[in-house]
Amino acid sequence: MKVKRRIKNNSSLLLTPLIDMIFLVVIFFMINATMAMNPAVSVNLPEAYTAKSVVNEEVVVTIKPGGLVYIGKDLVKIDNFPAEIKNAVNISGKHEVFLQVDESVMYRYVMEIIDLCRLAGIKKVSMIAKKKSLAR
């Protein structure tokens, strides 16, 4: 007579690999979030109540004290600016440029860059500011 043996089913849930993967995903997002908050070129931005965040894919022109101009992370000479900004806009596919200007930069530098953007065919130029808190 044949005796039927019960097959033991060892189907326990292994949580250790799952926890490891969740931990790695959390670390990935933490690193990317800090990189997104730290721009390529740091400036002391003015504050505004209506400031909005900028997406990383946007074309950002940074003006630092002394009239230093950056497109993204690259330092650009004023003489080459119209060609460089036109190239950056064509590569990104966006038809808008965001100006990130240090609050100590003189107004004439800002107007010069806006004028050069218009000469390059860019019709929409926006300013970046830090979000100002209503609470004091």
Q: Give the tens place of pLDDT for each residue, 65-76.
A: 888 899 988 899
3-state secondary structure of 77: coil
Q: What is the pLDDT of residues 103-118, one digit of tens each?
A: 888 888 899 999 999 9
Asked if residue 28 has pLDDT above 80, the reply is yes
Higher pLDDT, 16 or 32: 16
Whether 94 contacts 122, CB under 8 Å: no
Per-domain residue ranges of the chain: 47-131
Q: What is the pLDDT of residue 115?
A: 94
Q: Is 3.60.20.30 the CATH number for 47-131? A: no
Higher pLDDT, 81 or 32: 81
Q: What is the pLDDT of residue 18?
A: 87
List, in sequence order, the alpha helices (H) in the chain. Answer: 15-37, 81-92, 107-119
Q: How confident is the model at residue 85 (pLDDT cuts 50, 70, 90)?
A: very high
| CA 48 from centre of chain | 19
